[in-house]
A = this chain, B = another copy of it.
Amino acid sequence: MERVFNFAPGPSALPLSVLERAQQEMTCCSGSGMSVMEMSHRSPAYQQIYDNAVARLRELMHIPEEYAVLFMHGGATLEFAAVPLNLTRNGRADYIDSGNFAHVAAVEAQKYTNPVIVASSREDNYAYIPDWRGKLSPDADYVHITTNNTIYGTRYVELPDTGSVPLVADMSSNILSEPYDVTRFGAIYAGVQKNIGPSGAAVLIVRRDLLGHAAPVCPKLLDWALQDKNGSMINTPNTWAIYLCGLCLEWLQEQGGVEAIEKVNIEKAKLLYDYLDESRLFRPTAQKEFRSRMNVTFVTGDAELDAQFVKEAKAAGLVNLKGHRSVGGMRASIYNAMPFEGVQALVTFMKRFEAAR
Contacts and interface: CB of A to CB of B under 8 A. Distances in A.
Contacts of A3: 27-28, 33-34
A98 interface: no
Q: How large is the interface on A (under 10, 10 to 19, 20 to 34, 35 or more residues)?
A: 35 or more
Nearest to A319: B33
Contacts of A81: 219-221
Nearest to A46: B11
A179 interface: no
A285 interface: no
Contacts of A198: 37, 239-240
A35 interface: yes
Interface stretch (A154-162, A229-237, A256-264, A346-354): A229-237
Contacts of A77: 220-221, 234-235
Given A73-B200, A75-B73, A112-B217, A11 B27 contact: no
Task: Tell me the dominant secondary structure on chain A's binding face.
Answer: loop
Given A8-B38, A27-B3, A317-B33, A75 B236 contact: yes
A343 interface: no
Contact of A38 (B14, B32, B38, B82): B14
Interface stretch (A18-26, A137-145, A299-307): A18-26
The copy count of this chain in the complex is: 2
B38 A200 contact: no
Given A8-B39, A216-B111, A240-B199, A13 B27 contact: no
Given A201-B200, A221-B77, A238-B238, A244 B37 contact: yes
A308 interface: no
Interface string A168-196: 00000000000000000000000101000
A283 interface: no
A356 interface: no
A111 B23 contact: no
Given A9-B40, A20-B27, A41-B11, A236 B191 contact: yes
A56 to B, nearest CB: 19
Contacts of A218: 111
A295 to B, nearest CB: 14
Contact of A26 (B22, B28, B222): B22
A12 interface: yes
Interface of A: 1-4, 6, 8-14, 16, 19-20, 22-23, 26-28, 31-35, 37-41, 43, 73-78, 80-82, 108, 111-112, 191, 193, 197-201, 216-222, 234-241, 244, 317, 319-320
7 contacts: A11-B236, A37-B199, A76-B235, A82-B219, A193-B236, A193-B239, A200-B238
